[in-house]
Amino acid sequence: MKIDPASGLVRGVQFVASPNHDARPDGAPVDILVIHSISLPPGKFGGRGVEQLFCNCLDPDEHPYYREIRDLTVSAHFLIRRNGEIIQFVPLHRRAWHAGQSYCEGRTRINDFSIGIELEGTDDMPFEKAQYESLGRLTKIIRRRYPAITPEHVYGHGDIAPGRKTDPGPMFDWQRYLKSLA
- Active centre residues (catalytic): 118
Long-range interactions of 7-14: CB distance < 8 A, separation 24+:
7/91, 8/91, 8/92, 8/93, 8/94, 9/88, 9/91, 9/92, 10/86, 10/88, 10/92, 10/138, 10/141, 13/78, 13/86, 13/87, 13/88, 14/85, 14/86, 14/87, 14/88
